[in-house]
Amino acid sequence: MKPLIFVFIISVLYLAYQLLRSRRPKHWLIVSSSLSLAVILSFQFLGGVFLIPTESMSPTIKPGDLVIAQRVGGLFDHRAVQRGDVLVFNAPSVPGVYYVKRVLGIPGDTVTYNEDKVFSINGKQNGSLIKKDAFTTQYQAETDTAGQSYIFETDNRIGYVQTGKKWIIPEGYYFMVGDNRDHSLDSRYWDNPPGTPKNLRGLIHHESLVGRVNFKIVNLGFLARGDSGDRSIKQRQQPQQR
């Protein structure tokens, strides 16, 4: 159960109790009906509220950012997953752990990881060079949504690591990467559960998707983990789900 949904339900029960005590049945009916509707709509809309602990999605999402994920396939989500979407999902080999990454490859794509640490999608390089210094190289890439772009970066102090060279994305799966390419654990490196066919290693199934990140609420940097690598993202609730 998502934390905000839980809060709504508790609020409904508490208000119902207080209004029954005050013996205002008509008022109670209006308030409880409104809150019940809010619960239902929130369940259809929200994938969750999440706290980002690491720099794996920098510079787009920074450590300590509190983000809202809109539920994929929810009541107000009417479009397919597209390249460039930022998604929250369950890790392939660690049940109960959530990650946030960007969609790089969708069904039907051929994704190639090149030695300059830039990907190609269906033979076309993903991203154009915009800045380079002694430490980082930054690129700008377009999303499938017209007029939208994002920045990703590589660490010039870290060499190319040969993982899979090429992935052909089958129906129902996605290739996910972090915008901070050299400090991200993603589809290049993940091990899926034992018995997973080799061609599916590192890919994320549609059923593992939790939500599409569309909103950043606030930065709570003092709650970030304080390292540059990444393992997962924390769901903002007590106790934290792992």
Kindly state whether residue 94 falls inside one of the protein's structural domains. yes
Question: Are residues 18 and 77 both part of a single domain?
Answer: no
Kindly state whether residue 135 falls inside one of the protein's structural domains. no
Predicted local confidence at residue 227, as pLDDT: 54
Count of domains observed in the chain: 2
- Looking at residue 4, the DSSP 8-state letter turns out to be H
Interatomic CA distance for residues 38 and 36, integer angstroms: 5
Kindly state whether residue 184 falls inside one of the protein's structural domains. yes
Question: Are residues 109 and 203 both part of a single domain?
Answer: yes
Q: What tokens appear for 104 in the block?
A: 């790089």
Q: Give the SS3 label for residue 128.
A: strand
Residue 14 belongs to domain spanning: 3-44
Question: Are residues 115 and 222 both part of a single domain?
Answer: yes
pLDDT mean values, one per 10 residues, the chain (242 residues): 48 61 57 54 65 92 90 70 94 81 97 94 96 96 87 94 85 97 92 84 92 84 62 41 32
Question: Are residues 16 and 61 both part of a single domain?
Answer: no
Q: What is the dihedral of CA 94, 100, 104, 106, to 10 degrees?
A: 60
- Looking at residue 192, the DSSP 8-state letter turns out to be P
pTM check: above 0.85:
no
Could you give the percent of the chain with pLDDT greater than 90?
44
Predicted local confidence at residue 160, as pLDDT: 87
Which tens digits make up the pLDDT trace of 57-88? 999 999 999 898 888 866 555 678 999 999 99
3-state helix, strand, coil in the chain (%, to 5): 20, 35, 45
Kindly state whether residue 172 falls inside one of the protein's structural domains. yes
Kindly state whether residue 11 falls inside one of the protein's structural domains. yes
Interatomic CA distance for residues 30 and 36, integer angstroms: 10
Kindly state whether residue 137 falls inside one of the protein's structural domains. no
Which residue pairs, CB below 8 angstroms and at least 24 apart, start in 142-151?
142/84, 143/82, 143/83, 143/84, 143/85, 144/82, 144/83, 144/84, 145/82, 145/84, 148/84, 150/60, 150/84, 150/102, 150/179, 151/59, 151/60, 151/179
Residues with catalytic function:
56, 101
Predicted local confidence at residue 196, as pLDDT: 84
Cα 99 from chain centre? 6
Predicted local confidence at residue 178, as pLDDT: 97
Q: What tokens appear for 227 in the block?
A: 């390292």
Predicted local confidence at residue 36, as pLDDT: 55
